[in-house]
Structure formats: structure tokens, C-alpha cells
Amino acid sequence: FVAYSGIDDNLIKEEFKEKKFNQEVLQISTVASLIKRKNIDIIIKALSLIPYKYNLTIIGDGREKKKLQKSALKSVKNNQITFMGNIPREEVIKKLRNSDIFILLSDNETFGLTYLEAMVTGNIVIAKKNDGIDGILQNEQNAFLIPADVFELKKCIEKIYSLKEPQIEIIKQNAKETISNLSISKASESYIDNIKV
């Protein structure tokens, strides 16, 4: 059986407060080690092509940081890209609460809990198609799944930006239902049930 990880039951209970999508200045976040396979450069390049104002918060550290910072300096225009470095998990959750869109297009990604934490804090999630989280995330149902490509990401962000509030709320509601079945307690029950068999 597929033994999925779960997220803290208390986090699920605390979150899902109503949060309006900020279309004046898109609040975008990513959480990852700053290494090549995480494709953070794709996010920076795609954002440089969109016509909207945005703030991008990058949480994490790694050997690609200086290279990404140089790329960010070329891309910012009237926008803001903030490198937070490594911060405690509680601070990550706080930053995600202030974010509208979470993007992580890693190559060879496992079942990343960060996607679930982004969903539980009310983010629209963009992830890589045909990778570790694909299947739990369903394209245009509870998230968006795309190839790790600059122009595909640009199109996806523009599509999300064009959605009406009711459409955004449907995606968030679907995400809520997905998350409610991926708590630590539900995962534990699944392990026990499958081991008994």
C-alpha cells in the first residue's frame, strides 16, 4: 500500500480561515533547498515575464543561492523577491499564511509535506506534473500541475490571476477536503489497517 505522510492534526484545525486572494500584488512563496533540481530559477524567470505586481518569498538555503540572487536582481522591476534563508517551521507556516500562490516545480520530488502545508494555509498550489505529489494534487481541481518550464509557469500564473473569486474558492475547498484526509492521525490509521491485512 502507499504509505502517505500526514500533517499535524492541530494545524488542520487551526487553518482554513477565510483569506481573500490578493490580485493587486500577488503574494507568491516557495519553500525548498536552493539546489538545481528544485528549479527555483524557473520561478524567478517566469515571474519576470508576467505583467502583474508580485512579491516572491523564497524560504530555504543552498549552493544555488548566490546565482538565484543575481537572477532575481535582473527580474525585480517594481516587484520584490525576498530570500528568507532557513527559518523555523512555525515561521514557515506564518509566511505561508500571508501567501496566495505556492510554487514548487522540483525534479524527482518525493511526497513533499510543504505542498500540504501550503494548501492548508490557503494557497493555490502549482506543482510539477508527473512527480511525487501528482495524484494527491489534481490539476485544476485542488491545485495546478504543469511541466517545469518557464512559459508553462507564466501561463499558469496568468490563468490563476484571471480566475474569479468563486472559482478560487472551489479550488481551495477541494484542497481542504484533500488535506482533511492527510492528517497524521488518518495516516496512522491507514498504516495500522494495512498492516493488519
DSSP 16-41: --------SSEEEEEE---SGGG-HH
143 exposure class (CB count in 10 Å sphere: 0-12, 13-18, 19+): buried
8-state DSSP, 123: P
DSSP 77-88: TTSEEEEEES--
**Residue 32: per-residue pLDDT:** 95
- For 160-164, which contacts have Cβ atoms below 8 Å and span 24 or more sequence positions? 160/101, 160/124, 160/126, 161/23, 161/26, 161/50, 161/52
Q: Give the three-state DSSP class for 135.
A: coil
97-152: pLDDT as tens digits: 999 999 999 998 776 788 989 998 989 999 999 877 777 899 999 999 999 999 99
- Annotate 144-159 with DSSP letters as a single string: EEE-S-HHHHHHHHHH
Spatial separation of the C-alpha atoms in residues 77 and 18, rounded to whole Å: 31
pLDDT higher than threshold 70 for residue 86:
yes
pLDDT tens per residue, range 13-69: 666 556 677 778 999 999 999 999 999 999 999 999 998 899 999 999 999 999 999
Residue with cell 500540504: 116
Tell me if 134 sits within 8 A of 145, measured CB to CB. Answer: yes
The angle formed by the CA atoms of residues 178, 182 and 185, to the nearest 5 degrees, is 145
Asked if residues 116 and 123 have their Cβ atoms less than 8 Å apart, the reply is: no
pTM, rounded to two decimals: 0.89
